[in-house]
A = this chain, B = another copy of it.
Amino acid sequence: MKVGVLASGSGTNLQALIDAAARGEMGRARVVVVGANVPGCGALERAAQAGIPTFLRSHKDFAQREDFDHALLDELRRHGVGLVALAGFMRILTPTFLDAFPHRVVNIHPALLPSFPGVHAQKQAFDGGVRFSGCTVHFVDAGADTGPIIAQAVVPVLDGDDAEALRLRILAEEHRLYPAVIRAIAEGRVSVDGRRVHVRGAPVDLADGRLKSL
């Protein structure tokens, strides 16, 4: 399964996918193209470093959101992409894009959705005084972090943490969870029933003081 990654930032989750694939941990899934909307962002550099084709389309060059989405679609299709993985992509995709990849656009969010959608989720969680946070991989819909949940991982907020410590603890789980979900999709183990998603062969696991669903 050919995966296209869309990113806007430093691309650490993209790197996790590249590294997981190199270790053989993504099954038949592999990143074949990386698109970004921010010139010079780290994700583009990481892709180039890994020898993965890239494209840049700035949303500022398009009058309509749909036109931007069409431009992204053209590039992804040109590379035969079957699954789109957002990795710190800071644009909301329109139905124009999403309808072209039904249940084939995924995102990772650094909170236990539906808590703390939107930006700065880790700081929202820290300032909100929750005892646990984590990350969520979900199918993307037209809302902001509202699509059906595929998998989550839980981490504690510890005494002595600051927001950055929490961010890094969550990030480590993101880097593990995202490749595992993409592998499961590539292996045909993920099915969607309304808002509930079933993943075959993914019992809830308990490891290292963390709970994870994949």
Contact = CB atoms under 8 A, between A and B. Distances in A.
A51 interface: no
Nearest to A207: B206
A20 interface: no
Interface in A125-150: 127-132, 134, 148-149
B128 A152 contact: no
A195 B126 CA distance: 9
Interface stretch (A101-109, A154-162, A182-190): A154-162
9 contacts: A114-B130, A129-B149, A129-B195, A129-B196, A131-B149, A131-B151, A132-B154, A206-B206, A211-B211
Number of copies of this chain that the complex holds: 2
Contacts of A213: 131-132, 156
Contact of A116 (B114, B204, B209): B114
A170 to B, nearest CB: 14
Given A114-B115, A115-B114, A116-B114, A152 B127 contact: no
- Which 3 residue pairs spanning A and B have beta carbons closest together? A131-B213, A156-B204, A131-B152
